Amino acid sequence: MTIALGVFCPHPPLLIPQVGGRELAKVEKTRKGLIKIAEKVKEAEPEVLVIISPHAPLFQEYFSLWELPWLRGDFGKFGARDVSMEFEIDLALAAEIAARERKLVRLDSIGKAARYCFYSVLDHGCMVPLFYFQEAGVEVPILPLGMSMLPFPDLYNFGILLREALEAQGRRAVIVASGDLSHSLTPSAPAGYNPQGEIFDRTLVDKLARLDLEGIAGMDPRLIEEAHQCGYNALAIMLGAFEGLDAQAAVLSYEGPFGVGYCNCLITTSGREDPERKLADKLTAVYRQLFAVQREGASEPVALAIEAVETYVTSGKIIEPRPSQLLGKKGGAFVSINKGGQLRGCIGTISATRSSLADEIIHCAIAAATEDPRFPPVREEELPYLTYSVDVLGEPERIASPAQLDPKRYGVIVKAGRRQGLLLPDLEGIDTVEEQLDIAKRKAGIGPDEEVELYRFQVVRYQ
C-alpha cells in the first residue's frame, strides 16, 4: 500500500517544550493529539515522509520542491537554537514528481533558492510535526513541498499526481498537511478578531471529520479568506492523494487557546479502491458552481467588471456598456480581482477619466486583469476561479491634518508636487492612520518626512 497514512496537524512553535515553556500547558489537547499522531506514524512504518507546509517557499501558481541532498533547521528565531534537526531528502521521489508536474519550482541548489529570496532551511511548518515524529522514533527520508495559491481542483489534482509518483517509485509514504486554522478567533489573535474565523473552523472540522470532500471543496472562498488560515491548501493536496481509495478520517483534537485554531486529524485507508470516492471531476464541478452562484448574485458594477474582463481575455474585444444607471454617473473607480483569496490585480482611477462610470469600470477591470505590473495577465483558464470587487470613489476632500483621517472609513491621497499616492479604505492589515499614510507615501515615492497635501475620500464597495 503506497499511502500508509494522511496527517493534518498544526505547527505553532510553542508546541516545542523548549519554546513553549509554561505556555505548553495551554495547548495540552493539541500536544497529546500530536503525540498520538506520531505513534501512528511510527506504526505505519513509512519509507518517506511527504510534508506540505504553507511556510515552505510559496508561489502564487506553482508548487515548490526541495531537491537538496539534506535540509536542516532549528528553532533559533523562537528562542531555542539548540533544538535543531537535519533530514535526508528523497531525491528520487522529487525527480519523479518533477517529471510529471510542469507547475513546479525545483529548488535544487542554495543559489537558486537565494535568487527567490528563500533560505535553504526547513521551516517551522515542517519542523514542528517532524520534532514529534523524531521523538516517537521515526527516522526516514523526507520530501518537503510548498503548496501554492492555485484553486482547490488544482491542489487536489496535485495530490493525485503525488500518489502516482509514489506508486511509480514504490514508496510507502505518510503524507502530512501542516497548517493552522483561523488566525482570527479572538481580539488578541494574530489577525485580530473576525467572527467568520470560528465559522470557518467549525465548518471545516465538521466536514473533515465526515471526510465530506464535496463540502470542503465547496466552502465559500470569502469565508476562507476572512478566516486568515494557513492550512486549507495543504489539506487539499493531502486529500487528493486519497482519490478513489476507501478512506476514513478521525479528528483527534481541536482547540484555539491563543486565537488560532489547531486541529489534529488522521486519514486512514485500507488501500482498497472505492469507485464512489473517485471525486476529482465532481469536485471541480462543485468548485466552478460555487463561483457561478456568486456571479448570479453580483451587483451591477461587479457584473459589468466580470463581463468586461471575460470578453477581453477570450476575444480581445472591449465591451460597450448597456443602458443602466451607471451611464448617467461619472467618477473614479477601482476594480480588484482575487484568486484563491489572494490579490490577482487591482487598477483604478482617482477621478473620472471616461464619459460614464460604466465606461470607467470597464477600462479599469480590463487594466486590472492585464496591466497590473505586479502580476502576469489573466489567462482564459483562470476566469472561472476569479472574484471581483468594485470601489466607486467619492469626490476627494482636502483636509488639514491626519487627525481627520480614519483608515476604516476614508481612503487617502497624498500629494507632493507631481507625485501622488492613493490608498483605499478598510484594507486588511491597515488599522492606523500612520500605516495608511506610510503606505500611500511609499507608493508615490514620497519620503516619510516630506510635507504633503492630504485628501480624503469615501467609497462605495460592490461585491
Task: Quick: pLDDT tens for 16-25.
Answer: 999 999 999 9
DSSP notation for 74-125: EEGGGTEEEEEEEEEB-HHHHHHHHHH-SSEEEE-SHHHHHHTT--SS--HH
Lowest-confidence pick of 38-52, 260-274, 276-290:
276-290
Residue range 428-434: mean pLDDT, rounded: 84
Looking at the chain, the whole-number percentage of residues with pLDDT higher than 90 is: 74
Question: How buried is 339 (Cβ within 10 angstroms: 0-12 exposed, 13-18 middle, 19+ buried)?
Answer: buried
CATH topology (fold) of 397-462: Dna Ligase; domain 1 (3.30.1490)
Which range is least confidently modeled, 108-117, 222-231, 256-265? 108-117
Return the pLDDT at 90: 97
Query: Tens of pLDDT along 379-426?
Result: 998 898 898 999 999 888 899 888 999 989 999 999 988 898 888 888
Q: pLDDT tens, 75-133?
A: 999 999 999 999 999 999 999 999 999 999 999 888 888 888 888 999 999 999 999 99
Picking from 111-125, 196-210, 230-244, 247-261, which range would have the lowest pLDDT averaged per residue? 111-125
pLDDT recorded at residue 214 = 96
Per-residue pLDDT reduced to its tens digit, 311-322: 999 999 999 987
Position 328 confidence tier, pLDDT thresholds 50, 70, 90: confident
> CATH assignment of 3-279?
3.40.830.10
What's the pLDDT at 354? 92
pLDDT at residue 297 above 90?
no
| Lowest mean pLDDT across 215-219, 369-373, 422-426 | 422-426
260 contacts 181 by C-beta, under 8 angstroms: yes
- Following DSSP, what letter does each residue of 248-310 receive, concatenated? EEEEEEEE-TTSS-EEEEEEEEEEEE-GGG--HHHHHHHHHHHHHHHHHT--HHHHHHHHHHH
pLDDT, mean of residues 24-47: 97
Arithmetic mean of pLDDT, 177-196: 94
| pLDDT above 90 (res 240) | yes
Helices of type H across 138-194: 152-169
- Of the two residues 295 and 211, the one the predictor is more confident about is 211
Global pTM?
Answer: 0.84
Q: How confident is the model at residue 365 (pLDDT cuts 50, 70, 90)?
A: very high
Query: What is the pLDDT, as a whole number, of residue 25?
Result: 94
The pLDDT score that the predictor gives to residue 113 is 83
pLDDT at residue 183 is higher than 90:
yes
- pLDDT given at position 296: 80
219 pLDDT band, cuts 50/70/90, is very high
What is the rounded average pLDDT of the residues 45-66?
94
pLDDT over 80 at 428, yes or no: no
Q: Which CATH architecture has domain 297-392?
A: 2-Layer Sandwich (3.30)
Q: What percent of the chain has pLDDT over 70?
A: 100
Please, what is the average pLDDT of the chain?
93
Q: Please, what is the end-to-end C-alpha distance for the chain in angstroms?
A: 47
Over 80: is that where the pLDDT of 294 sits? no
Task: Enumerate the domain spans of the chain.
Answer: 3-279, 297-392, 397-462
Phi-psi region of 271 (alpha: psi -120 to 50; beta: other; left: phi over 0): left
pLDDT at 83: 95
Q: What pLDDT is attached to residue 289?
A: 86
Which residues neighbour 320 within 8 Å (Cβ) at sequence distance 6 or greater? none
